[in-house]
Amino acid sequence: MNGIEWIRPVAFFGSIAYAIIGVAVFWASFVIVDRLTPYDLWAEIVEKKNVALAIVVGAMCLGISVIVAAAIHG
What residue spans of 1-74 are helical by DSSP H? Answer: 9-36, 41-42, 51-73
Residue 1: the pLDDT is 52
Query: Among the listed ranges 1-5, 12-16, 22-26, 44-48, which one has the minimum average pLDDT value?
Result: 1-5
pLDDT band, very low/low/confident/very high, at 72 (cuts 50, 70, 90): confident
CA angle, residues 39, 25, 70, in degrees to nearest 5: 115
d(CA 7, CA 13): 10
pLDDT digits (tens, 9 = 90+) for 51-70: 999 999 899 889 988 988 88
pLDDT digits (tens, 9 = 90+) for 11-41: 778 888 888 988 898 899 888 988 998 888 8
Buried b (16+ CB within 10 A) or exposed e, 22-56: eeebbeebeeeeeeeeeeebeebbeeeebeeeeee
